[in-house]
Amino acid sequence: MDDLDTGQRRGVSRSDQAYRYIVEGIQSGRLVPGTRLRETELAELTGLSRTPIREALSRLQLEGLLTMDAARGLIVTELDHSMASELYAMREVLEGTAARLAARHASDVEIDFLREINVRDAQLTTPEALAANNRLFHETLYRCAHNRYLVKTLNTLQESMMLLGPTTLAAPGRAETSRTEHGAIVEALARRDPDAAEAAARAHIIAAYRIRLDQLFDTHTQPEHANVPQPPMTDTDGLSVAN
């Protein structure tokens, strides 16, 4: 409720307040994929009327974060293996492009900031803190590309990534490996090497995709790995990818 009260003081519309409440619930894991959402319950939880709640739910449904299920009603969208593969395939391409453009256009100050974010990562211990720092690294990388349309597309993609569940950084050893992969991206940017920057970014995303597949298999407890989507296509000879 505090966030909603703050939003009211800042002049944020009630529909946007409801939207943010639900998105933050998905992002934090409070609203996991498959959770049923009811207007009346959300209205009680937020203190808002049903009209802004309904508007927020419609917006989220259009964005693909919510789905109308025939049996359960409106739920937080559940992603299957194929959909996860499609998300990571797009992320590999777009983040590779962002890194390539950043190698050309990022200022020295921006590259130094990326390096500082990565150094700070070693001081963090909880999955939540690591995930927040990871988001900051990637959002900064997007801005370093200096292409507003690419940034907008990547931000939209990141919203869908929330549906995949807990961060891959919680997997044993993944935080350290991810930090090394981030470092490779930063050093390629510092050398102003677009090819190396793109290859490092693509490799980073593929590695995270493989961890994500393991998480999805654990969640669904599938006995066999038949018909498993293959990692996104890459030009980096099997180097790995994202979080």
Q: Over the chain, what is the mean pLDDT?
A: 86
Confidence of residue 148 (pLDDT cuts 50, 70, 90): very high
Domain ranges of the chain: 2-76, 81-220
pLDDT value at residue 45: 93
Say yes or no to pLDDT of 205 above 70: yes
pTM of the predicted model, to two decimals?
A: 0.77
Q: Which residues of 187-197 are buried (b: 16+ CB within 10 A; e: fewer)?
A: ebbbeeebebb
Digit-coded pLDDT (tens) for 158-192:
888 888 877 888 889 999 999 999 999 999 999 99
Task: Look at residue 140 in the predicted model and tell me its pLDDT.
Answer: 97
Per-residue model confidence as pLDDT tens digits over 83-94? 899 999 999 999
Quick one: pLDDT at residue 239?
30
Q: Does domain 81-220 have CATH number 3.90.1150.10?
A: no
**pLDDT for residue 51:** 95
In sign, the C-alpha dihedral spanning 182, 211, 127, 89 is positive
Average pLDDT over residues 125-152: 95
- For the segment 72-88, the average pLDDT, to the nearest whole number, is 91
Q: What is the CATH number of domain 2-76?
A: 1.10.10.10
* Whole-angstrom distance, CA of residue 34 vs CA of residue 169: 23
